[in-house]
Copies of this chain bind each other. A is one copy, B any other.
Amino acid sequence: MTPRTTRVVCLVRRPDGEPVTGDFAVEERPLPSLGEGQLLVRNLYMSVDPSMRGRLESTEKHYTHNFTPGSPLDGRALGVVEESRCSSVPAGAYVRHQLGWRERAVLDAADTDGAGRIDPELAPLPTWLGLLGQTGFTAYVGLARIAEVRPGDTVFVSAAAGAVGSAAGQFARLLGAERVVGTAGGPDKCALLVKEFGYDAAADYRAEPVREALARMAPDGIDVYFDNVGGEQLAAALHALRTGGRVALCGMMSQFGGERRSAGSGQRSADINQLIQAVLKRLTLRGFIVRDHEDLRPEFEERVAGWLRTGRIAARETVVDGLENAPGALLSLLDGGNVGKMLVRLGDSA
């Protein structure tokens, strides 16, 4: 009994300033019938990511398509195969794919990743979208390849209680960092950084200038900055970096909206000429997009699965229930309302 329709979240209109829930609507849309090599997947979890903010705008992003008013959103999701016309991915298999923001999806088996490799015995399903998914992979690529974390390094991570940041702090330590410090919004998150995510020190960027916080947390300077926010935190890091320091530029939540540079996304900006520090101290700054680094994925999955198995890292997710609450989950994420990976549960795995 193949369902003929599915509920999807559509973009109603591009946000006028900050996005609001009225920019989104849940609609019923037809599902195509299965062609050869295709799967019908019932989604169980979908990911909500900071990068979706930019995709709501009209400005082209160079590395992905933007959302279109009147059409469903998309994004990473994990589901169970209900029907299959691909012999290598049978019904009952768990697959990850790109058609989130909907309860069911028809897709080519070739467009799933890790098909057959998602073993719910190895790690809980949400972890496959978090520490073992793009989120964890982003943190791993940024530290291991882009910033080349080395034994003895002092590493600074911003947005450290977020999905990527909470992974980055833990990975940095396991990659040999001697000291790991981070910033987050609010005292509760800062407490979590130290208690749960293994940071040596944490600072609330809302309560203290980051330059002063770094002078306190890393008085001898830092070797690596994993940047999730840009703005004044990047400028503060440039001042704190030691000679030969490295910056992995992962994304800049502080770039969105001239009218909104406080609270969650939360950074005042700074002058580009702070980059004179990069000359004086021979710094390297590298931007990266994780999908350029698929060659690193096997190494990543093996190491992180091992760290999970032996209890050396803690997976932490913030889970919201129900497709209709997915837009609210995105808005909450952009406002800093999550700890760890932000997910929406779309169905029951039973």
Chain A interface (Cβ within 8 Å of chain B)? 61-63, 230-231, 234-235, 243, 249-252, 254-255, 269-289, 292
Contact = CB atoms under 8 A, between A and B. Distances in A.
Contacts of A61: 280
B235 A62 contact: no
B281 A234 contact: no
Contacts of A235: 272
Number of copies: 2
B284 A255 contact: no
Given A63-B280, A249-B279, A250-B279, A230 B272 contact: yes
B287 A283 contact: yes
Contacts of A274: 272
A252 B275 contact: yes
A295 to B, nearest CB: 15
A284 B292 CA distance: 14
9 contacts: A230-B275, A234-B275, A255-B273, A270-B272, A275-B285, A278-B286, A282-B289, A284-B284, A285-B285
B282 A284 contact: no
B275 A62 contact: no
Contacts of A255: 273, 276
A69 to B, nearest CB: 22
